Structure 1
Amino acid sequence: MKFWNQHKFIIRSIHQRLSRNQFLILSGVLVGLSAGTAAILLKSMVHYIHVLVNSQLEVFNYPYLNLFLPLTGILITAWVVQKFLKGKDGRGVANILLDIAQRSGVIPKFKMYSQVITSAITVGFGGSSGLEGPIAVTGAAIGSNYARTYRLTYRERILLLACGASAGIAAVFNAPITGLMFAVEVILVGVVFSDFIPLIISAVSGALISKIILNDDILFEFRSLKEFDHSNVPYYILLGVFSGLVAVYYSRVSRKIDYIFHHQLKWSPYNKAILGGLTIALLCFIFPPLFGEGYGAVKFLASNNPEGLLNGTFFNIPTENSWMIILFTGLIFLTKVLATSFTLASGGSGGNFAPSLFTGAFMGFFFASLFNKMGFHTLPVNNFTLVGMCGVLSGVMYAPLTGIFLIAEITGGYELMIPLMLVATSAYVIAKVFEPHSMDVKDLIEDKKIFTENYDENILSLIKIHEILETEYDEISTDSKLIDLLAVFKNSDHQLIICKDKHQKFAGFIWFDKVKKVLLDTDLQNKLTVEELVSKTSVKLNIEDNISKMVDYFDQTDMFYLPVFDKEVFIGVISKTKLLAAYRNKLRLTLS
């Protein structure tokens, strides 16, 4: 604790002596190194869990015992989430976007470590998911809490949140450009910012510390890559279209399985974990390459050794039978989404980066090998395997630039930049045709809970109804006389009065401007009742409704005030004046 306080004192002292831009650059370095260290810790934990598990398997030497390791990992993960995280694992990039839109970029502190622990257990025991999503959440939480510690502004907090996510991705893949693209395309959607330098510095810092400590080389070294041949352009475009369709299939299957586990199965978390673990055991028994992240299986394709995929399978497939190998790889890329979805939906932790890369590699190999076998055209299989990874990732994540630079950096395939761009763009366009939003954020965008490219809507989403709710108002009963209403207006500072019926339920408004002529007519004061002057409305805005619904009500009714309810109980009103003032304040906040 003493060390931490000294650390804060030093940083705050430096903060006072540096300009804003200088301090942001320093902060980018510190956040990048911290997120990179978290990535190193995560990868090391997964490695040592693998080593420990494999050593135990060698001791017991039971056949197929490893099939039940994912079940063990998911059960342990579910126990950790329920016991220590109170059922809130906070996984997924969508949660970062939700924190940006709904909590002004304030991410709970427990996310700085929770995803490292849970994903290490899940993936370390062979769960079919990736580490990239968890490290993005971890890095974002580090950046957000750094900004909170040193009392930085909203805009600076969002920037450092993105710096952390960028550095995490850069470190886990040893790919700084990819980290930068990920932050711009995924994290900062709909956010106005101009401070690119801290973002670049943090990505470089994360990748650099990972490179120094882990000394990782290129993740996939593809052999026999051929130079780009313009005559293959139609086939690359066709591969991009196929990648987009596979990405749509991936997204829809994943969402369907997630819906079943979270909305239809009314089971305990542990029963769900058992179902998911047993399903993965069955899938891995049939298709062993589905075990774990799957990078080892992709390396068989990269090294021109697809026959190695048959190791451990109960299928008695002759290695010289190329048709069976093609069929086997085709079935693998179709079932990978099942293994990943059951892993995550049943309680495991992880992300979709690695699974989508795996799916894309096997899809690209299947595509090129099938064309070659059927004699349509001779395609470079390794080239198509590589760009297939880019295609599916771009279609699943809706981040084509991230896909392009990720594949270029982790494979050293910069000479295939044109086919990468063709496939990524084609896949992205096709996926957008069938699904306007990516699978992680679709529900949140439809509920208008996260930012989109519409900047005005993003500003409005920062406003909460309770922030502009007016709870102090004057009221009168509908059976009162006009003389009573006149007395209320005389003693009121408001231009409208709330009318309630004899059951104390909201009945409507009375506007002073609309009734002042009647009120001043002495002949009518004792003849008319308040009820005859009430302006009634069928609009009922609930305190839990989003701000867009309120704006729609204002547009549709041309009203200046809207009544707000909490479970049918009237609690106050909202005026256009307050809404516009809140909009100006939020706009100023995002630009300051």
Structure 2
Amino acid sequence: MPENIPIAPEVLTHVIEREVGGWQGKLRHNPLFHLLLAFFVGIIAGLGAVAFRRLIGLMHNLFFFGQWSFSFNALKHSDASIWGAGIILAPVIGGLIVVWLVRNFAPEAKGHGVPEVMDAIYYKRGVIRPAVVLIKALASAITIGSGGSVGREGPIIQMGAAFGSSLSQWLRLHEWQRLGLIAAGAGAGIAATFNTPVGGILFAVELMLVEVSARTLVPVMIATGTATFVSRLFLGNHPSFVIPASIIASTAHETVADYVAYVVFGLLVGGVGLLFTNTLYWTEDFLEKWLKNAYLRTILGMAAVGLTMYLVQRCTGHYYVEGVGYATVQNVLESTLLNPGFLLLLLVLKVFSFAVTLGSGGSGGVFSPSLFLGAVLGGAFAALVSHWIPDYQMGMAVGAALGMAGMVGASTGAAVTGAVMIFEMTNDYHIIIPLIVVSGLAFGVRRLFTRESIYTRKLIRRGHFIPEARHSNLYLMRPAAQLIETPMVRLRGDRTLEDLQKILLHRRELPHVLIIEGTMPLAVIPAHRVAEILRREIRHVPLSDLASTDWVAVRDDSQLYDLVARLRACACETALLCKKDPPEHHEDVVAVVTVEDILSYASLPQVLLRPERGPQ
């Protein structure tokens, strides 16, 4: 070709894209490259955790003392603000700034962070906008620094996950790689802030990973280890709390009485954890119902938080319930707060302040409040038991440590993470069995009443189901007919909701409703949709107007794997299991199966039921 003949721009672009795509494709399939990315995510997550803690210190000093300083020790109580009673307005001003930031730049930054990461994993193919990193850091730092009663771990988790997502999107990695890096970023964030690398790994496994295998777990291990190392370089190699070794070591000589006390305490923590979760969502619903304007809701809610912390400081000398509350936890661990009545009062005030902070639009995590509640509850329990049974002495530090693990397990659902993290903080193997007992029982009590944790309940309220476990493909090889648990009723489309209500009077379980027209199936009302429309005042509306015609027919002898494939191919959420495909008569329909049925049966992640796409 002569050199003076120009190359068309579109041809040049195609060549460049082909070469770059080939280069990226090779990297995507290179295991070492994926591990190097995890290493990079760990570095950024560790640095992010350090920077975020410094940012909280800056905001605290600005709001409380009007000083430009990053110096802040969360284990020490803050001095009284120079503003006096004016400190009541600090949370209000901070809250207004946060609401403005969140509403205008990143709605995902509202609330406690972890649910948004889980939602991105299961419902958005792991896509988290880069803006979330900056807005979440700034909004949460302002909320905590101005006196909001929330934690710093949720924001750090969300920031680490958002960076993992942004990096994988930029490199156009496969979806499983993107989800793995999100989990790695989340685990790295929590490992860096607590100096608990094993706890960070388990957090990712329990709550983030949709697939537990070597190809996903090893990157998480690398990221959490790297983030912890980076954190230690800047913050020192010491636990988040200073736990007296002499008191914790007493667990090396347990008796039957000790384990009876642990069992009772575990059950108690589970009940309080359930109350903690319920109070948050009760408060959010109440404030949103009665205060429609977001800014007015923030003004009144954060004013209540500011007034609470000011009154506590005036009466006791310390703010106690403001911010992350680690100074209060340290007091309980050091046995300097001995009055069980005061500890229980702090528990109530912390639950109130936390729920109102998030309910009125604040941004922050739930991990620190969980640790706070567990510590004060454990301290109060130890003090009361020692008072009521003089012959039995339970150290307050022991009670606080067990309470922290149990409250994390009960509220977040990460029972193993809670036990192992506190074990890492104590650095004493003798306490591991009591931690397991209390954390496991606390989780069990909460699970007895509801399957939803404080994280997943937020998503369920959006209609987003999160599976509780990850399994191998064993379930996919089983017959789809094994999914048939929910009953089905056949009704003509001209029947009304009032007719359906009469039919359901004598049924214990809500059925799927198959709408028929003549001899053929026409539409479906899934059981969860039936529950929703029964609450409406639309009794005379024909059922055909409420039903969905978006369904796919599958033979009743198909394997679950084939059923999932058909749902993905057709982008449907409802399938008719039929004797014939396609059905020739509505009697050919054996059962109705929905995505929710599949998720409940096989604990499959929602992403597996979405239409297949290439790398993003």
Structure-2 change in CA distance of 1:544 and 1:239 (3 Å): farther
Residue 213 of structure 1 aligns to a residue in which SS?
A: helix
Structure-2 change in CA distance of 1:555 and 1:404 (3 Å): same
Q: CA deviation at 1:251?
A: 0.8
| Preserved CA contact (<8 Å) 2:147 2:306 | no
- Asked if 1:540 is matched to 2:547, the reply is yes
- Asked if 1:293 is matched to 2:319, the reply is no
- Asked if 1:432 is matched to 2:458, the reply is no
- Asked if 1:227 is matched to 2:247, the reply is no
Structure-2 change in CA distance of 1:191 and 1:274 (3 Å): same
Question: Amino acid of the residue matched to residue 400 of structure 2?
Answer: T
Residue 423 of structure 2 is matched in structure 1 by 408
Residue 240 of structure 1 is matched in structure 2 by 266
Structure-2 change in CA distance of 1:243 and 1:443 (3 Å): same
Structure-2 change in CA distance of 1:140 and 1:59 (3 Å): closer
Question: Amino acid of the residue matched to residue 254 of structure 2?
Answer: H
| Preserved CA contact (<8 Å) 1:242 1:427 | yes
Residue 33 of structure 1 is matched in structure 2 by 43
- Asked if 1:258 is matched to 2:278, the reply is no
- Asked if 1:24 is matched to 2:46, the reply is no
| Preserved CA contact (<8 Å) 2:160 2:186 | yes
Question: Amino acid of the residue matched to residue 326 of structure 2?
Answer: Y
| Preserved CA contact (<8 Å) 2:65 2:81 | no
Residue 281 of structure 1 is matched in structure 2 by 306
The TM-score with structure 2 as length reference comes to 0.69
Q: CA deviation at 1:254?
A: 0.9
Bigger radius of gyration: 1
Q: CA deviation at 1:409?
A: 2.3
Residue 349 of structure 2 is matched in structure 1 by 335
| Preserved CA contact (<8 Å) 1:508 1:537 | no
- Asked if 1:194 is matched to 2:214, the reply is yes
Q: 1:149 aligned to 167, 170, 181, which one?
A: 170
Q: CA deviation at 1:542?
A: 6.5
Deviations 1:190-212 (A, max 9, x none): 53543221110000111111111
Question: Amino acid of the residue matched to residue 384 of structure 1?
Answer: G
Deviations 1:331-356 (A, max 9, x none): 11123111111111111100100000
- CA distance in 2 between counterparts of 1:384 and 1:554 reads 54
- Asked if 1:396 is matched to 2:411, the reply is yes
Structure-2 change in CA distance of 1:54 and 1:280 (3 Å): closer
Q: CA deviation at 1:561?
A: 7.7
> Structure 1 stretch 11-20 or stretch 206-215: which is displaced more?
11-20
| Preserved CA contact (<8 Å) 1:112 1:141 | yes
Question: Amino acid of the residue matched to residue 412 of structure 1?
Answer: N
- CA distance in 1 between counterparts of 2:461 and 2:21 reads 41
Residue 214 of structure 2 aligns to a residue in which SS?
A: coil
Structure-2 change in CA distance of 1:266 and 1:560 (3 Å): farther
Residue 152 of structure 1 aligns to a residue in which SS?
A: coil
Q: CA deviation at 1:109?
A: 1.8
| Preserved CA contact (<8 Å) 2:43 2:227 | yes
Deviations 1:303-337 (A, max 9, x none): 2211xxxxxxxxxxxxxxx6xx2111111112311
Task: Give the alignment's Cα RMSD to 1 decimal.
Answer: 3.9
Residue 81 of structure 1 is matched in structure 2 by 102
- CA distance in 2 between counterparts of 1:336 and 1:395 reads 17
Question: Amino acid of the residue matched to residue 464 of structure 2?
Answer: K
- Asked if 1:419 is matched to 2:434, the reply is yes
Residue 432 of structure 2 aligns to a residue in which SS?
A: helix
Q: CA deviation at 1:79?
A: 2.0
- CA distance in 2 between counterparts of 1:11 and 1:416 reads 53
Stretches of structure 1 that go unaligned for 5 or more consecutive residues are: 1-8, 307-321, 461-505, 512-535, 563-581
- CA distance in 1 between counterparts of 2:212 and 2:613 reads 11
Deviations 1:158-214 (A, max 9, x none): 1011111111111111211111111000112x5354322111000011111111122
- Asked if 1:49 is matched to 2:59, the reply is yes
| Preserved CA contact (<8 Å) 2:262 2:437 | yes
- CA distance in 1 between counterparts of 2:124 and 2:583 reads 27
Residue 235 of structure 2 is matched in structure 1 by 214
Q: CA deviation at 1:130?
A: 0.4
Q: CA deviation at 1:37?
A: 1.6
Deviations 1:404-429 (A, max 9, x none): 12212234344311111111111011
> Sequence identity, in percent?
27
Structure-2 change in CA distance of 1:561 and 1:272 (3 Å): farther
- CA distance in 2 between counterparts of 1:258 and 1:457 reads 38
Stretches of structure 2 that go unaligned for 5 or more consecutive residues are: 1-18, 68-78, 313-318, 476-514, 521-542, 553-566, 585-605
- CA distance in 2 between counterparts of 1:410 and 1:200 reads 19
- CA distance in 1 between counterparts of 2:132 and 2:108 reads 13
Q: 2:389 aligned to 375, 383, 389, which one?
A: 375
Structure-2 change in CA distance of 1:33 and 1:81 (3 Å): same
Question: Amino acid of the residue matched to residue 541 of structure 1?
Answer: S
Q: CA deviation at 1:259?
A: 1.4
Deviations 1:421-442 (A, max 9, x none): 1111110111100121112212
Deviations 1:464-499 (A, max 9, x none): xxxxxxxxxxxxxxxxxxxxxxxxxxxxxxxxxxxx
- CA distance in 1 between counterparts of 2:192 and 2:384 reads 36
- CA distance in 1 between counterparts of 2:282 and 2:578 reads 36
Q: Where does 1:136-175 land on structure 2 (aligned, <5 Å)?
A: 136-175=157-196
> Structure 1 stretch 266-275 or stretch 61-70: which is displaced more?
61-70
| Preserved CA contact (<8 Å) 1:554 1:560 | no
Structure-2 change in CA distance of 1:102 and 1:400 (3 Å): same
- Asked if 1:554 is matched to 2:576, the reply is yes
| Preserved CA contact (<8 Å) 2:108 2:116 | no
- CA distance in 2 between counterparts of 1:186 and 1:86 reads 22
The TM-score with structure 1 as length reference comes to 0.72
- CA distance in 2 between counterparts of 1:340 and 1:458 reads 41
- CA distance in 2 between counterparts of 1:538 and 1:272 reads 38
Aligned residues: 476
Question: Amino acid of the residue matched to residue 301 of structure 1?
Answer: V
Structure-2 change in CA distance of 1:147 and 1:283 (3 Å): same
